Amino acid sequence: MEHSRRMFIGASLAAAGSARVIAQPAPKQAPPVDLRDFGAVGDGITDNRAAFAAAVAAGRGRRIAVPQGNYRIDADGGSITLEEVDLVGEGVLDGATGSIDRGANLWVTGAANSPFKVRRGVSVQGLGIYYPDQSDSANPRPYPATFAFDFTAPGTAVQYVQFLRNVVYNAYRFIEIGDPRGNVGHVEIIGNYICALNRAIYLKYNAEHVRIERNNFTFSHWHGSTESGARGYMRANATAVEVDRSDGIEFVDNLIFGHLNGLLCSATGLCQYLKVSENKFDQVRYGVRAIGPGNFDGQLIGNTFNSFNPRNRALQGRSFSIETAGPKTESITVASNNFDAAAGEHIYVAGDNPVRKIVIGPNNYRLWGSSTGIGAAINANGARTDVQLTGGWFYGDNGSRLVSYGLLGDLQTLQLTGAAFEGCFAALKVRANQVIATGNLAKSTTGPTSDLISAPVIVQSGNHWDKPAATGGGAPGQ
């Protein structure tokens, strides 16, 4: 009885506690601020910069609703600073056809300033951003970034910033962190449709924990645009995302079309802990480039690369899907990617440092080959570099091209397991201190199966090569 009584009392107290929690009133939400209450007119003609600035000043900690309309903002009048505010467009976005006749659109004119400066706690959602004075030209107007992160306020951190479901037309640059005085963290750039002719996202300084997901980086909506106009400029100059100094960048499930660079970890910076997965790089000359002095600890998994430009071969030149270079590139994993066409290498590894490991595989390759010289699915050039290649199908399209290789390079060690080479000039042309080859296949090679130059330690088993080694070289054997 006493035990049952205690259980009853305990249950009653728990129920009472639950009732007290449920009975508490929900916190009151401040009503949104309507941009039109501050004199904004969405006619595409009236300058609304002052109305935006007033609404942002009054709406700190609240949502600012941007109703359907075309709101011109003349950035020559100065930048509008966003802090602790949600800027939300109301209306239907149309990124597929490039319509600017519906939705909440910001028409940016004036090139003296960025229209918006971004500080802590900002969300920008559901807006169309349009540059009506940008021309379909091979020399587009170099507007400042639409959103420039600002570190002039007290404190050096800009955190908790979101860009969600926006459509960007004809911008020169969309988002930029160009000030070395502060740190940026917890930034999400998700679900946007972005046409930025030069750089879409430029993280130049101290970016940590940035997630770039499900965006479409592509040409703008000009009808009848030619390769000699803005599209040609983008193929020769545009970069979807450039990162200079970062720690923890996730680049996931994006589509990049018709750019010079997809993801560029630039030459002067330190980029650590990169996660690049499930992206499609279509007609992008250089898919992923990690070329700085301190790029390391990265994963490139499940991406699709097409580095060939079928529209304008004069712009093509050499191309590659992945480049990793610099003196401190360490622990790069490249796995389960699909490589379609390239006019050079799919994976290009350069640089020389004491600790360097590149893990490749399993992967699926189709090598386009080179029309101007030697091409290879993988070109690894680092005398102290260890390459571990597991699985993968390497198909070389010789055709009228000179030569193509499965793997070409000057290495420390090569561990090759379960790879298949077909239609290449040669499966391997490698200089290394040690080669370990197990369970590999080569067929329909034009030249010798392999040419192993100065490989003093060769361990092999279970390989099936269709031709002998080159004269003076060493084949991994059967």
pLDDT value of residue 337 = 83
pLDDT at position 371 over 50: no
pLDDT of 213 reads: 97
Among the listed residues 150, 147, 122, the one whose alpha carbon sits nearest the alpha carbon of residue 62: 122
Candidate from 34-43, 54-63, 232-241, 350-359 with smallest mean pLDDT: 350-359
pLDDT of residue 300: 87
Q: Distance between alpha carbon 171 and the CA centroid of its chain, in Å? A: 18
Q: What residues does each domain of the chain span?
A: 29-259
Question: Tokens 């035990």 — which residue?
Answer: 3
Report pLDDT for 470: 66
Q: Tell me, what amino acid is at 332?
A: I
pLDDT given for residue 5 in this prediction: 41
CB 439 within 8 A of CB 417: yes
- Distance CA(271)–CA(186), nearest Å, equals 16
The C-alpha atoms of residue 192 and residue 200 are separated, in whole angstroms, by: 11
Lowest mean pLDDT, pick from 211-215, 289-293, 350-354: 350-354
| Total residues found in the chain within this entry | 478
Check pLDDT > 50 for residue 158.
Answer: yes
User: What is the DSSP annotation of 278-295?
Assistant: S-EEES-SEEEEE-STT-
- Judged against a pLDDT cut of 90, whether residue 309 lies above it is answered with no
Count Cβ atoms within 10 A of the Cβ of residue 433 and give its class: 0-12 exposed, 13-18 middle, 19 or more buried: middle
3-class secondary-structure state, position 381: strand
pLDDT at 449: 77
Mark 300-339 as b/e (b = at least 16 C-beta within 10 Å): bbebbbbbbbeeeeeebebbbbbbbbbebbbebebbbbeb
The reported pLDDT for the residue numbered 50 is: 96
pLDDT over threshold 80, residue 308: no
String of DSSP letters for 310-357: SS-GGGT-S-EEEEE-STT---EEEES-EE---SSEEEEEE---SS-E
- Residue 195's pLDDT is 92
Q: In the predicted model, what is the mean pLDDT of residues 119-129?
A: 94
More confident residue, 258 or 99: 258
- Residue 357 confidence (pLDDT): 67
**Mean pLDDT value across residues 62-80:** 94
The 3-state secondary structure of 115-174 reads: CEEECCCEEEECCEEECCCCCCCCCCCCCCCCEEECCCCCCCEEEEEEEECCEEEEEEEE
The three-state secondary structure class of 97 is coil
Q: How confident is the model at residue 425 (pLDDT cuts 50, 70, 90)?
A: confident
- 215-249 burial: b if 16+ Cβ within 10 Å, else e: bbbbbbbbeeeebebbbbbbbbebbbbbbbbbbeb
Average pLDDT over residues 167-196: 90
384-399: b or e for each residue (b if 16 or more CB lie within 10 Å)?
ebbbbbebbbbbbebe
Q: Which residue has the tokens 């640059």?
A: 173
pLDDT for 3 equals 47
Is pLDDT of 201 > 60? yes
Q: Specify the pLDDT at position 198.
A: 94
Q: Rounded to two decimals, what is the model's pTM?
A: 0.85
Average pLDDT on 321-326 reads: 78
Contact 450, 463 (CB under 8 A): no
Distance CA 101, CA 461 (A): 66
Q: Please state, in angstroms and rounded to a whole number, the distance separating the CA atoms of residues 376 and 392.
A: 14
Does 451 score more than 90 pLDDT?
no
Per-residue pLDDT, averaged over 84-88, amounts to 95
29-259 is classed CATH 2.40.30:
no
- pLDDT band for position 4 (cuts 50, 70, 90): very low
Question: For the chain, what is the mean pLDDT?
Answer: 80
